[in-house]
């Protein structure tokens, strides 16, 4: 059965000098409004014991725009400023529901530069996107088409640390489930191989960060030598950011290709419910685990299986998938299984196992048992 979802399509664009200047001012105003509202919210609660709502902050924004000290807020569209107040309200709702930490102030150098425009602050006609207070459409590189007849509800413009400009269009899209394949697969995430399947297939781990490690170290060393606050330091920081962006882009592209193929070919997929955050505390493996991006892999599998009518089966993180013999009728469990042991022979039934294939087979069996 088809379902309608909200999906963001992200594109790169190359703004004119006028557009870049306006967007930089908008980013600065968004950050200013966020920080000013957060400071006032915090002060109001500490001094007066009062909670604050979005309506309160919207009234503050109106007053700030009339104040001589912050009248520069009138130079940009009011909509992104309202949107950042709405985002702050969501952040506080998550904090009070104990789903997140207390909202933090935004830094000029470290925080993400972005601004969100609702549909009353942009026009989208004939494949051209024009933002409020701009005279020309954004020069977007449409590397893939939007769904036919799609009308963006919000548009988010951002600039990453490498200086690249992106625009993300949120649209409603109808997705039809893929045909039922009847196939099921167990997936074991690893470091030697990105994933090993219960079918015996092993998908290589490209190790993108390791490939660029020497180049990254050289750029970071050059950055450390630059005087703080200098233009040369800013340029060196951007060179480091470009290397990080290249690593992240290649990693994400590979993960998309792997997860899309797995979802297309299999009706049910079983994976371990790993706590990657805790695993990163192992400093000898943290860098390799981060490079493998297991959390991103799982996230992609979750939303893609939801979109295309597939089933994602989560197996308990404490399940001894590597230690348990996967041979039918044998339930032997080894007491220890060091990471350097890549294959082993079951002392009960004599079956020789590849460690990762055995784990994937056990994960599949455990996942199907919990359906």
The conformational region for residue 179 under phi > 0 = left, psi -120 to 50 = alpha, else beta, is beta
Residues in the chain: 371
Which residues are catalytic, by number? 188, 272, 356
The conformational region for residue 41 under phi > 0 = left, psi -120 to 50 = alpha, else beta, is alpha
Within 13 A of 203's CA, how many CA atoms are on the CB side? Answer: 20
Cα distances (Å, whole numbers) of residue 307 to 52, 178, 203, 267, 315:
37, 9, 23, 12, 21
- 268, 138 Cβ separation under 8 angstroms: no
3-class DSSP state of 82 = helix
What is the DSSP annotation of 9-61?
EEEEE---HHHHHHHHHHHHHHHHHHHHHHHHHHHHHHHH-----HHHHHHHH
The conformational region for residue 98 under phi > 0 = left, psi -120 to 50 = alpha, else beta, is left
Kindly report the backbone phi and psi dihedral angles of residue 169, in degrees, each rounded to the nearest multiple of 5, phi listed first: -105, 120
311-315 vs 268-272, strand pairing mode = parallel
């Amino acid at each position: 059965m088809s379902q309608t979802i909200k999906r963001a399509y992200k594109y790169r664009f190359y703004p004119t000098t006028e557009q870049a200047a306006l967007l930089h001012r908008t980013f600065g105003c968004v950050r200013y409004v966020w920080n000013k509202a957060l400071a006032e919210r915090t002060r109001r609660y500490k001094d007066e014991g009062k909670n604050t709502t979005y309506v309160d902050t919207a009234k503050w924004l109106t007053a700030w725009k009339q104040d001589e000290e912050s009248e520069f807020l009138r130079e940009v569209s009011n909509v992104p400023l309202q949107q950042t107040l709405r985002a702050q309200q969501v952040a506080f709702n998550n904090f009070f529901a104990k789903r997140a930490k207390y909202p933090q102030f935004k830094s000029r150098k470290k925080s993400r530069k972005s601004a969100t425009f609702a549909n009353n602050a942009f026009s989208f006609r004939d494949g051209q996107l024009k933002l409020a207070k701009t005279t020309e459409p954004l020069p977007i590189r449409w590397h893939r088409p939007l769904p036919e007849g799609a009308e963006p509800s919000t548009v988010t413009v951002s600039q990453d640390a490498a200086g690249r400009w992106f625009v993300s269009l949120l649209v409603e899209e109808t997705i039809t489930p893929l045909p039922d394949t009847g196939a099921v697969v167990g997936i074991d995430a690893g470091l030697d191989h990105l994933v090993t399947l219960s079918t015996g297939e092993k998908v290589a781990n490209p190790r993108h960060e390791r490939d660029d490690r020497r180049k990254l170290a050289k750029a970071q060393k050059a950055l450390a030598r630059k005087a703080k606050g200098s233009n040369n330091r800013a340029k060196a920081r951007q060179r480091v950011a470009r290397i990080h962006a290249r690593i992240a882009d290649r990693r994400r592209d590979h993960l998309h290709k792997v997860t899309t193929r797995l979802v297309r070919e299999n009706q049910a997929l079983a994976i371990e419910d790993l706590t990657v955050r805790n695993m990163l505390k192992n400093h000898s493996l943290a860098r390799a685990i981060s490079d493998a991006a297991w959390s991103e892999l799982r996230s992609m599998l979750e939303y893609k299986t939801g979109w295309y009518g597939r089933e994602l089966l989560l197996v308990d993180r404490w399940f001894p998938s590597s230690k348990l013999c996967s041979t039918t009728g044998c339930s032997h469990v080894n007491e220890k299984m060091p990471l350097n042991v890549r294959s082993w022979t079951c002392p009960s039934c004599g079956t020789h196992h590849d460690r990762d294939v055995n784990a994937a087979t056990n994960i599949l069996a455990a996942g199907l048992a919990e359906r």
